[in-house]
Amino acid sequence: MKTSIKLPEETSWIIEESFFNPEWLGKYESIMCLGNGYMGQRATTEEQYLNEVRDTFVAGTFNKFDAKEVTELPNLPDLVQMKIKVNQESLDLTQGVISDYSRQLNLKTGELSRSFNWQTPGGADLSFHFSRFVSMDQLHVMGQKVTVKSLSGKIDVEIVSGIDGQQTNSGSQHFSEGEKHLFESRFMQMTSQTTQSAIDVVQTTVHQFSIPVERIKSRIEMRRRQIYTNYWLTLDEGEELRIEKLSTIHTSRDLEHEGRALKVIEATALSELKGAEKKGFDQLLRASAAAWERKVWRIAPIIITSSNPQDQVALNFAKYHLHVMTPAHDNRMNIGAKGLSGEGYKGHTFWDTEIFMLPYFTYTHPEIARGLLEFRYHGLHGAHRKAEGNGYEGAQFPWESAWIEDGETTPVWGAADIVTGKATKIWSGFIEQHITSDVAYGVNQYVEAVGDQHFLETKGYEIILDTAKFWASRLEWDDETQKYHINEVIGPDEYKEHVDNNAFTNYTAKWNIQKAIGIYEELEVSQPALLAQLSQKLDLERVYPEWLDKVAKLFIPQPNQELVIPQDDTYLSKKIIPLTSYKQDEQVGTLFHDYNLEQVNNMQITKQADVLLLIYLFENLFSEEVKRANWQYYEPKTMHDSSLSLSTHSALAADLGEIELSYDLFKEATNIDMGPSMTSSDEGIHAASLGGIWLMTVFGFGGVRALDGQLRINPHLPKAWQELRYSIFWHQNELEMLVTADQLIVTNKNQVSPVTFTSRGMEYTVVDSVTVSLN
């Protein structure tokens, strides 16, 4: 399939659209989105098109449209749009003649640029260049620059630009209209308020022109949910016009504005924009690029020497988006499944964070990882409310989380059933409960890698103990087996609903309870005062004996004679059908062209890694024979219809020595957003998959694991890679790994303390540098 995605070999920092196709707008709006963790902005063009989705989001500003819908990130009034007319003809690349077209996202600097020559239907020739950024240096600031040049005679130009609040989330309008102001005849400001959560949004914008103001006629307009200015001017042949549009966004949800009156926020926003205007677009862009280098690229870099240059681009692309989407500035917020790049999944947080994205931050930006886990701590009230509503104790984390006080935010109804024609009920919010142990797993992984005792004592212990308390109350006694079961759940494989004893759920619940028992017994000896404090809060003196009794009797699915671990009580008895044609289809979910979910529920078909994810996360529990037997059984039955799945399979394949298969899966995973399917990313990028690209590289080919608190480094490079250089942080030590086909060199760059690790069964201690032979 021909696409316009171009990955130039001469640079690993550029994503390019090499020709314009209006049918592919959604793809580029997502993969070229801009942001800084505070705000995210889809890469819509300045001019409007029929298929565009013009989204701007600010993290944490959730709102509920009405009682029938769940809360979602609202689409803010648009600041990007500019209506440009030349001799009364609107800029529209579906009309006239385009040449020399290029749109590029510079991953290193965060700059989105677009250039082309356009001949209007009326015959005027012009060149255009657009540049845009969302500042990584100043979280509230964004900038645009537009250059227009006449190539054939004098032309009349009309520009309409300002703030457009006539935006919706697929039809749902989340804002009440506020005040509009024009300050000093140049600074436009509009306030809006979310209808249910009552969050004030203040947007301010200003334009600067390169030609004298006397040559420009202008008129301010204030209409329903809009404030904008009309500009009229004339350009001579060969004359160039530059327009700089600088804007700021502030909200009453921002930490810095807590308790402030709206008028104070408005004044702060205007003052900041005036300061930005004095610096100008170019200086602001340079400062933002410098912040990208300082905050992202300089920290724990990854360099791949590969025969395929796209591998390095994929890593840079993943890291760029991980920082665009992550609200590092505020621990009351977390990462949405589509980041801040689209309306998919409504901006909600899933288990994707703990299992697929948190590891990147834990090992490279531990301060950000801590903030993401503090979000879970702040959400304990909602987790308690969910558990209590279901008749359980402790903390049952929501399957989908939004604002920290919202609790469960999973929609109840989803896509149509192709057989019944009715909406399908989304059971995940009710019975996909492994999220609770996933959160505990994320806490434990962070503490093991970082050694953050303060977090552990103030928040981490409580999360693990509280989630274990939930699991103990969730277990159901079975008289026939004389075991505790976990019935009526959905595991990671969401094609199997209402199953009993899902292996992933049962194993992780047991691990969660065992971890809590270990904490209780450790604190009993080392910190009895802290234990007493936690016990008073969580009633641990009563719960601890229950843990001891129930964990010993919790049913854990064991490998059968073929060493296959049953995914649940009935999976292995279900019908098997040929899946090759579905697995080879470049479109996801084509299985449901032929079957509905009820039918798939009764077949040995797995949506995404389930048992294999369990083996990947808890490899110490399973022998090599069991790992390989389950790989051979489940991999052919796994559709990878979730973007979460491929990275797990790639890393596990590397562990099993299937290096080239692992690399094939790596390439397939990197193509989810960057590949030839031009509709895969319409609703936003695949956040967990991007975290998975880092996982495949560092955990898979780099061989890094934390096993029971011990660091293991077992690298294995694919044939296409001559060298892999990456860094991680381990207990405040920055470790740089250089991997070739022959050796691993581990360098302790800051030498906070000696670090002990294992590699290929041997133990090493690195003070400054250690070389390990891989032959």
- pLDDT value, residue 508: 98
How far is the C-alpha of 348 from the C-alpha of 169, rounded, in Å?
A: 14
**How far is the C-alpha of 611 from the C-alpha of 505, rounded, in Å?**
10
Beta carbons within 10 angstroms of residue 298's beta carbon: 9
Q: Kind and range of the H or E element at 341?
A: none
- Most distant pair of Cα atoms in the chain: their distance: 90
pLDDT band at 3 (very low <50, low <70, confident <90, very high): low
Q: What global pTM score does this model have?
A: 0.96
Q: Once rounded to an integer, what is the mean pLDDT over residues 77-97?
A: 98
Do the Cβ atoms of 739 and 702 come closer than 8 Å? yes
Positions at the binding site = 351-352, 607-608
At 201 the three-state DSSP class reads strand
Tokens of 17: 């659209």
Place of tokens 């255009």: 128
- What angle do helix axes 659-674 and 687-695 make, rounded to 10 degrees? 150
Separation CA 409–CA 61 (nearest Å): 14
The pLDDT of residue 584: 80
Identify the CA nearest to 317 among candidates 670, 718, 754: 670
What's the mean pLDDT in 240-255?
A: 98
Buried b / exposed e over 195-229, threshold 16 CB at 10 Å, is bebebbbbbbbbbebeeeeeebeeeeeeeebbbbb
pLDDT at 2 over 80: no
CB 724 within 8 A of CB 715: yes
Structure-token pair, residue 14: 């550029």
How far apart CA 234 and CA 408 sit, in angstroms, is 56
Model confidence band, residue 775 (pLDDT cutoffs 50, 70, 90) = confident
Neighbour tally for 97: CB within 10 Å: 12
Chain Cα centroid distance, residue 439: 16
89 is catalytic: no
Q: Strand 200-209 vs strand 125-134: parallel, antiparallel, or unpaired? A: unpaired
pLDDT at 8 > cutoff 50:
no
For 354, the enclosing helix (H) or strand (E) is none
Evaluate if residue 7 carries a pLDDT over 60.
no
Among 46, 494, 497, 658, the active-site one is 494
pLDDT tens by residue, 288-312: 999 999 999 999 999 999 999 999 9
The mean pLDDT value of the chain amounts to 96
Rounded (10°) CA dihedral 303, 307, 310, 315? -20
496-543 pLDDT per residue, tens: 999 999 999 999 999 999 999 999 999 999 999 999 999 999 999 999
Sorted by where each starts, the structural domains of the chain and their CATH numbers stand as: 32-297 (2.70.98.40), 379-639 (1.50.10.10)
pLDDT of 443: 98
585 or 347, which is more confident: 347
Q: Cα–Cα distance between 172 and 462 in angstroms, integer?
A: 38
pLDDT band with cut points at 50, 70 and 90 for residue 581: confident
At 402-433, the pLDDT tens digits run: 999 999 999 999 887 878 888 889 999 999 99
Alpha-carbon distances, residue 46 vs 20, 128, 159, 265 (angstroms) = 14, 11, 11, 28
Kindly give the pairing relationship between strand 704-707 and strand 710-713. antiparallel
Report phi then psi at 729, rounded to 5: -105, 130
| pLDDT tens per residue across span 186-219 | 999 999 999 999 999 999 999 999 999 999 999 9
The amino acid occupying position 442 is G
> Could you tell me which of 611, 589, 426 has the C-alpha nearest to residue 501?
611
Distance CA 696, CA 683 (A): 24
Q: Nearest to residue 408, comparing CAs of 438, 429, 436?
A: 429
Per-residue pLDDT tens over the stretch 276-290 = 999 999 999 999 999
Rg for the chain, CA atoms, rounded: 27
* Residues 686/661, Cβ–Cβ less than 8 Å: no
Residue type, 553: K
Q: What is the pLDDT of residue 414?
A: 86
- Which residues define the annotated binding site for substrate? 351-352, 607-608
pLDDT at 1 over 60: no
- Encoded tokens for 168: 């919706």
